[in-house]
Amino acid sequence: MRYFEDIEVGEVWDLGQREVDEAEIVEFATKYDPQPFHIDAVAAVESFFGGLIASGWHTSAIMMGLLAGSIKSQKLDAQGAPGVDQCRWLVPVRPGDVLHGRATVLAIRPSNTRPMGLVTLRTEVFNQGDAKVAQMQGTGMYGCRPATKVGDGA
């Protein structure tokens, strides 16, 4: 397990990659953002975007999924987050895009009230052409290393 004490400012976490398909874009948008350029490929051609695009909220959910997967693979003791300070959708995500990302540790500080630390990350996601499609900045909570007792042999 990796704890707050193991995280350093400047670390860059690889978030891996995943492809986004048309069915996923339409399904998400139908439930949460039913605008024509997200749910109707024919109508989307006539829109400002010139074709079907993923909702920004869908892109954010993908970004969070990639981040959560990285946290899990690193065996980080993540304990949630108090929120996101900034989120930007920069380039539309289209069917067939293969997204990949990274998270950079910008700041760390121990909690004044709980056995955890606060880690500020900038999370960025790029498409297959390396265009940045989205970026968010927020703070996550990570558990501190458990104290060892005298005589534990640790």
> Which pLDDT tens digit goes with each residue over 7-37?
999 999 999 999 999 999 999 999 999 999 9
- The pLDDT assigned to 144 comes to 96
- The pLDDT assigned to 147 comes to 83
Task: Name the band, by pLDDT with cuts 50, 70 and 90, for residue 57.
Answer: very high
- The pLDDT assigned to 154 comes to 56
Indicate the residue type of 30: T
pLDDT digits (tens, 9 = 90+) for 77-134: 999 999 999 999 999 999 999 999 999 999 999 999 999 999 999 999 999 999 999 9
Residue 153: C-alpha distances to residues 98, 118, 149 (Å): 48, 29, 9
Task: Name the band, by pLDDT with cuts 50, 70 and 90, for residue 145.
Answer: very high
| Res 153 pLDDT > 90 | no
- The pLDDT assigned to 151 comes to 64
| Res 38 pLDDT > 70 | yes
CA distance 101 to 92: 15
- The pLDDT assigned to 152 comes to 58
Which residue pairs, CB below 8 angstroms and at least 24 apart, start in 110-118? Answer: 110/4, 110/144, 111/141, 115/143, 115/144, 116/4, 116/79, 116/141, 116/142, 116/143, 116/144, 117/4, 117/5, 117/7, 117/141, 117/142, 117/144, 118/142
Beta strands across the sheet bearing 116-126: 12-19, 98-110, 116-126, 132-143, 83-89
**Residues forming a β-bridge with 86:** 137
- The pLDDT assigned to 62 comes to 98
Region 4-143: CATH code: 3.10.129.10
- pTM score of the predicted model: 0.92
H/E run at residue 122: strand 116-126
| Tokens linked to 67 | 């981040």
